[in-house]
Amino acid sequence: MSLFDVFNVSGSAMNAETIRLNTTASNLANAESVNGDVSKVYRARHPVFQAMMNSQSGLDDDQDASSGVRVMGVVESAAPPLQTYAPDNPLADKDGYVYTSNVNSIEEMANMISANRSFSTDVEAINTARDLLLKVISMGH
């Protein structure tokens, strides 16, 4: 574990936050998507983060400090889609209903802000580690 690990750890976190931002963008873009088939309607997606223990240092997992982040998977929200009666809609089913995606725009906006903050923190950590290492290189000059 050294200062160099900060680059790997924070880098993996930035990658995970980027995936989170991507799903948020996808969710917000499809917030108003409709479909006549309830099984095919767009459902909000969210990534699941997991700590990535790195056992290269020979320590057991509990003692290994370098734990980056990885996206274990992307899960779809189980919330029910909104059912609307719109017989004029060409996508409506035989009873005249369309289904709107279950994306909660407010939740997605909050999610986006949180991802933004976390990303900034990771960038800050990398910048700090870089500054310190540059100072170590110029030690004694």
Task: Produce one character per residue of 3-29: b if its CB has 16 or more CB atoms within 10 Å, e if not.
Answer: eebbeebbebbbebbebbbebbebbbe
**Per-residue contact flags (x/-) with another protein for residues 7 to 46, judged by CB under 8 A:** --xx-xx--xx--x--------------------------
DSSP-H helix ranges across 1-141: 5-29, 105-137
Identify residues 97-136 at the interface with another protein (CB under 8 A).
Answer: 114-115, 117-118, 121-122, 125, 128-129, 132, 135-136
Distance between CA atoms of residues 38 and 122, nearest Å: 40
Q: Which residues in this chain contact another protein in the complex, by CB under 8 A?
A: 1-3, 5-6, 9-10, 12-13, 16-17, 20, 48-51, 62-63, 65-69, 114-115, 117-118, 121-122, 125, 128-129, 132, 135-136, 139-140
